[in-house]
Chain A
Amino acid sequence: MAESRQYLRVGLMGVDYLLPNSTSYVIEKREHLEINDAPGAFIAAWQATPSGRAPAYSVDANLNPLSRHAWQRAVFFQAGGQTLGLIADELQLLAREDVRVEPFTPPGAAPTPAGHLFGGAWVRGGHAPVLVFEPGALADYLMRLEAAA
């Protein structure tokens, strides 16, 4: 797991994850995005980019596709030369000194060819651990979900 100076707390339907700033990311408000109104859409919106547009995916707390319309913000991150977005209920920037992340790779086979979705975890007393995304694997996972939809 690469060292990160900051983490972005990403709340998905009541469950928190962390996104390390080993990847660059941008938070966009809904009104700055092109909304996808198609019923049942897994891609909730697009962000205009110099080379076209980047999708913002909507998933639930278990990272399964979720079609929803009541959302306000998305985080766009880069991985493997791609820009992808994730619709989030909560987004909070956390400084490195506020977060103690330990290496953690889940047992079991990796769910994507790019590896495991998580590479670390933040453990605090009295709280369930917060898992830290591996941006490359997360991007691969989201694109495969889209391809399978």
Chain B
Amino acid sequence: MSAITRDPVHALEVPTDNLPLLLPSACLAEVVALPRLARVPHAPPWLLGVLGWRLRPVPVVSYDILVGGAGHTPGPRARVAVLYPLPGRKPWEFVGILSASEPQSRIIDSGVAPAAIDDSFRYIAAALKFDERTVGVPDFMALAKALYPGR
């Protein structure tokens, strides 16, 4: 298995119940505490609600539920990673990903090796090995299609 040898990339590791997500810092607008969300009636279960962020409405998504997991009620340490709009989306369509706790800063450099993951982890472009842990880099194009079907 070959190591990654490109220039270092700063990223945040977002803990989830299943596969931790590795989000490049350039995709992240902000990480915020999870406030009270507005529920969206008749929305899919992975849409946890709407966050008020910088006077913008931002949908908050559970990756765990999106990939078929059960999900659970977020605890007091939960955070929301607010992402810049996904590919093809309108400039105001920021999206939040639920983080089980405070995301951790990571640097992807030559010491990080690619990893193999199960196909059940959908919307993942690549998996990487940090120490003994496997993390997934989201496929943002696939994520956009999943979150905004037919749009």
| Chain A residues at the B interface, C-beta cutoff of 8 Å | 15, 61-64, 100, 102-109, 111, 117-118, 120-121, 123-125, 127-131, 141
Contact = CB atoms under 8 A, between A and B. Distances in A.
B150 interface: yes
A63 B41 CA distance: 6
A96 B59 CA distance: 24
A129 B148 contact: no
A129 B51 contact: yes
A106 B59 contact: yes
Interface string B44-59: 1011011111011101
Identify whether the interface residues of A are mostly helix, strand, loop, or mixed: loop
A73 to B, nearest CB: 21
Contacts, number: 78
Identify whether the interface residues of B are mostly helix, strand, loop, or mixed: loop
Given A107-B95, A124-B52, A129-B50, A102 B42 contact: no
B35 interface: yes
A138 to B, nearest CB: 10
Contacts of B43: 106-108, 111
